[in-house]
Structure formats: structure tokens, C-alpha cells
Amino acid sequence: MSRIRAVLDESGRSPEGAVTIKADRLEIDIDTTSLARALAQVGIDLIVDGIQQGGGPASPATIKRRRAQGITSTTKFHATGRLARELATRQVGDAEYEIQTPPGYFQDPALLDEFIKEIVDPLIRGRMSLEIDAKLDDFADEIARVSNG
């Protein structure tokens, strides 16, 4: 349990409002696998949002090929919704997950590079760190509830 104790001088007053705060050691067993899975899911959610809202237009040749297939979308990464629908996490270590794209989706390495540049990189530099911080705050809140409960 944490304790807050005022530092008092001889007259019983706290000099200049000084307060000493001492916290007892708290040992917490965190399920790092669940945490990693949750953070990977944050990544997927943001990438799906990025796919649905961003990415430039597809090339004229791609748009022509799609129209021949009955696909009217002109966006680069969200023609059929398959990429957003089939993103998945895969556990690759004890507390390590990776986000995987649908098998065979990025057969052209240049298209994968464009996807990373246009969708993934901006998320990593922007919203993803905020969302991950929020998810870590959620885990901390859960730990506090369990500790105080």
C-alpha cells in the first residue's frame, strides 16, 4: 500500500509545503502475450481505417483491368475490400505478433512498398503511437482495478 507522509519541522508544520511520497513495491504479473495480441489488433484496426480512407488512386491500367472485371473502385488498396478484410495477426514469439496481409495479395514488391509508404508509415508516425499508448493505459487501468479490488 502506498503512503503519503508530510515532512514536518519542529513546530509541526510542513516546510514550504514539502511532501514525501513513498510507494511500496508492487509486483504485477502481466500477460505479455495478451498485451502483444491487443497491440497488434490496434495496428490492424488502424491499417484497415487507413486502407478505407487513404491511399492514392490506382493506376489507369489497374482501373481499366478492374472495370473489365466489374470492379468500379478507383482506389489503390480498397478495390474489393479483401486487403482490409483479411489482415490478420500471427504469433511469432512468446509475446510477439506480426500483422500479415492476405496470401498472394502483394505479388508485386513495388505495390507492397507503396502500401507501406502510403498507409503504414504515416500511421506509425501518427495515430498508431497514440492508439498504442491508449491501449497501454487500458492495461494499466485493469492492473489498478485488480490490485485495488
Q: How many domains does the chain have?
A: 1
Q: Which domain holds residue 42?
A: 32-148
pTM (2 decimals)? 0.66
Condensed to tens digits (0 to 9), the pLDDT of residues 80-115 reads 888 999 999 889 888 888 888 999 888 888 888 888
Q: Give the pLDDT score at 3.
A: 43
Q: Give the pLDDT score at 36.
A: 85
138 within domain boundaries: yes
25 within domain boundaries: no
Cell of 130: 497514440
Q: Give the pLDDT score at 37.
A: 87
Cell of 121: 508509415
Low-confidence stretches of the chain (pLDDT < 50) are 1-8
Q: Give the pLDDT score at 1.
A: 39
24 within domain boundaries: no
Residue 44 · residue 87 · CB < 8 Å: yes
6 within domain boundaries: no
Residues written for the chain: 149
Cα(69)–Cα(88) distance, integer angstroms: 26
18 within domain boundaries: no
Nearest to 62 by CA among 53, 73, 54: 73
Nearest to 88 by CA among 78, 99, 77: 99
